[in-house]
A and B are shown apart, each in its own frame.
Chain A
């Protein structure tokens, strides 16, 4: 009985080790894609990425334009290659985020950050009204579309938008105005009623 328990324990330990080893061999990708105006578009995008041998678990969310997939770490798929593949499919890669098997992360906006002097980078957090994943994609896109914004992340629970930007090029007020133009109120900028009413029902927060 005792020896059976020991053998079982070692086996479980071995399975866990093996699973961790496999996870470290897989990179996880999240790509935000613009231009997916129809479900058949998503088919074209998936087809383009299936040309990359070893790709698995492709999922595409139509409403947010987010595509997730996994890829073997040893083949090292770069951000540039992902962006090129999206372009070849006929769409626009807005942002690429990679979580490598060894735990490191790479984000396409990081490369832009490296080009800005450290002392010019400003990070702020402010309230932006919204409800769901679609709101998140819209808010972050509105911020990132501004020249000088390096990073933007909106938290669904806290409703805070954390923005890193080049302080020599723009101000927080300008960013808040741009976000409000997409239909989402901030504390200092209110979205136009006409634009707000055009938001999908699940996004209407007033």
Chain B
């Protein structure tokens, strides 16, 4: 019932907004490659997650480089802090799981003020973090993620879809992931950049081996001026069929981006 309520709210918000503007990149979802070749982006996206397990912080530095206009490579180096509810587990801070990202855009269809693009993506996560089994933050496991992204970007709105599979050979937590994001600008489109964008992003995770399920919704706002972007989002579960210990309350995201 709650899920239907949220979907209806989303539909109302989308139909109420009727402006012709350009929006920026999503916050928790991903998007096709939109910047030109030889561009470097330095980003942070700090997550503070509150769950039954405890309170965790992940503060990664993300470095992305576009060698060509249709390819991207990147590295994500996270700093993590963890406070467990269980007193038997030791709190602390450490380097999290480092990830290496590669994307290749294989389809592009451009129109006036709009474009549709498709991208193949892989994210290889190295077991550099502690083995705390904190999904997406500190697992201490090697992970291999393959996905397809399809995105429609226009000066009116943006829609991004991502469907992928995360293979974790070390344990029974393989995930089938689907992300859906909508971006809506609040200001008139200008260049140089000066905008405020609203984001509505859904993330589904199906843990295929245990049949657990997680549906998350993130509401975000983003301010971009020139080459700098600042953003924040709150993410909470709409549905979680997982162990009691792993159930989430909410996550708070704070991010910045700088484009060279």
Q: A interface vs B, CB < 8 Å?
A: 34-48, 60-65, 87-92, 94, 137-138, 141, 200-201
Q: Does the CB pair B69–A37 fall under 8 Å? A: no
CA distance A49 to B112 in the complex (A): 19
Q: Chain B interface residue count: which class? A: 35 or more
In this complex, which of A34, A43, A91, A137 has the most chain B Cβ atoms within 10 angstroms of its Cβ? A43
Chain A residue contacts of B70, Cβ below 8 A: 90
CA distance A88 to B39 in the complex (A): 12
In this complex, which of B25, B39, B111 has the most chain A Cβ atoms within 10 angstroms of its Cβ? B111
Residue in contact with A90 in the complex, picked from B37, B113, B190, B193, CB distance below 8 Å: B37
B75 to chain A, nearest CB (A): 21
Is B242 part of the binding interface, using a Cβ–Cβ cutoff of 8 Å? no
> Within residues 49 to 107 of chain B, which ones have a CB less than 8 A from any CB in chain A?
69-70, 105
Is B189 part of the binding interface, using a Cβ–Cβ cutoff of 8 Å? yes
B259 to chain A, nearest CB (A): 6
B62 to chain A, nearest CB (A): 16
In this complex, which of A36, A40, A44, A201 has the most chain B Cβ atoms within 10 angstroms of its Cβ? A40
Residue in contact with B24 in the complex, picked from A35, A38, A60, A64, CB distance below 8 Å: A38
Residue in contact with B155 in the complex, picked from A47, A63, A87, A138, CB distance below 8 Å: A63
Q: Does the CB pair A89–B69 fall under 8 Å? A: yes
Q: Does the CB pair A48–B36 fall under 8 Å? A: yes
10 nearest CB pairs, A to B: A35-B110, A44-B36, A90-B69, A37-B153, A34-B110, A89-B36, A62-B189, A44-B35, A42-B191, A39-B193
B143 to chain A, nearest CB (A): 29
A49 to chain B, nearest CB (A): 9
CA distance A39 to B38 in the complex (A): 18
Q: Does the CB pair A62–B155 fall under 8 Å? A: yes
Render B8-44 as a binary contact track against A, CB cut-off 8 A, 1 for contact: 0000000000101011110000000111111100000
Is B227 part of the binding interface, using a Cβ–Cβ cutoff of 8 Å? yes
Q: Does the CB pair B191–A62 fall under 8 Å? A: yes
Contacts A37-B114, A63-B113, A137-B112 supplied; 10 other A-B pairs, CB < 8 Å:
A34-B110, A36-B113, A37-B22, A38-B158, A40-B193, A44-B34, A63-B20, A89-B69, A90-B33, A90-B36
